[in-house]
């Protein structure tokens, strides 16, 4: 049951668990949990891929638009957010952790893209942020969102202090490598195609 993470993530979500199990015998790695509101609050840490491949097909613009909507939701629930951007040869924290009281699209519009896709560095930067948050607010539920097309050769390690991991997959085209789905499965997280969230 420890795979569920925080005290706010103990109830098994059977539809998602059975979907992960498919035709196999039920094992602990198949378990998916319903993420109820944590008593210590919630921190959403967003990791945004700003690499060159995200410029194709307006992927980065779509990701930034989705971020604005997710930040608005966080503000409505008084949740904290943090934003990590990676691209080129670096990754840095652009916002938070804090409640985004004055956040709007003008804050995110200047974020540009280009260069390589150091996914590992982006995840490591987020991991440090989440580890620090776990020490400052142990009861807080920490959710890691990775918005990327997965076009990276890196192999990031599982973020130890994330109670929930969600990949939003921006990969497009007929030749897909499926890196986001692969990491989500490996880490016991979730993966959604970007259209599933943008078009709701």
Q: Break the chain into its structural domains and give their ranges.
A: 1-36, 40-198
pTM summary value: 0.77
Question: What sign does the dihedral 198-150-111-113 (CA atoms) show?
Answer: negative
Q: What is the pLDDT of residue 3?
A: 39
Residue 191 has pLDDT above 80, yes or no: yes
pLDDT value at residue 45: 97
Taking residues 36-59, report their average pLDDT.
84
CATH homologous superfamily for the domain 40-198: von Willebrand factor, type A domain (3.40.50.410)
Query: What are the angstrom distances between the C-alpha of 41 and each of 38, 81, 138, 195?
Result: 5, 11, 10, 28
* Rg of the chain taking only CA atoms, in angstroms: 16
> What is the rounded distance in angstroms from the CA atom of residue 55 to the CA atom of residue 62?
10
Could you give the dihedral angle defined by the CA atoms of residues 37, 136, 92 and 62, in that order, rounded to the nearest 10 degrees? Answer: 10
Mean pLDDT score of the chain: 82
Q: pLDDT per residue over 100-115, tens digit each?
A: 776 656 666 677 777 8
- Could you identify the residue written with the tokens 């652009």? 94
Measured in residues, the chain has a length of: 200
């Amino acid at each position: 049951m420890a795979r569920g993470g925080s005290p706010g993530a103990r109830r098994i979500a059977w539809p998602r668990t059975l979907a992960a199990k498919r035709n196999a015998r039920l094992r602990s790695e198949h378990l998916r949990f319903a993420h109820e509101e944590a008593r210590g609050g919630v921190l959403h840490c967003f990791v945004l891929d700003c690499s060159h491949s995200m410029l194709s097909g307006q992927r980065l613009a779509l990701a930034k638009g989705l971020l604005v909507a997710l930040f608005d939701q966080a503000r409505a629930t008084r949740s904290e957010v943090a934003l990590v951007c990676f691209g080129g040869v670096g990754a840095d924290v652009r916002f938070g952790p804090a409640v985004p009281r004055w956040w709007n699209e003008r804050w995110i519009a200047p974020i540009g893209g280009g260069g390589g896709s150091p996914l590992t560095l982006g995840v490591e930067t987020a991991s440090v942020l989440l580890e620090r948050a776990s020490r400052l607010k142990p009861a807080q539920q920490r959710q890691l969102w990775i918005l990327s097309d997965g076009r990276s050769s890196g192999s990031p390690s599982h973020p130890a202090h994330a109670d929930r991991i969600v990949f939003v997959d921006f990969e497009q085209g007929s030749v897909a490598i499926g890196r986001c789905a692969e990491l989500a499965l490996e880490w016991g997280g979730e993966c959604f195609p970007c259209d599933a969230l943008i078009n709701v």
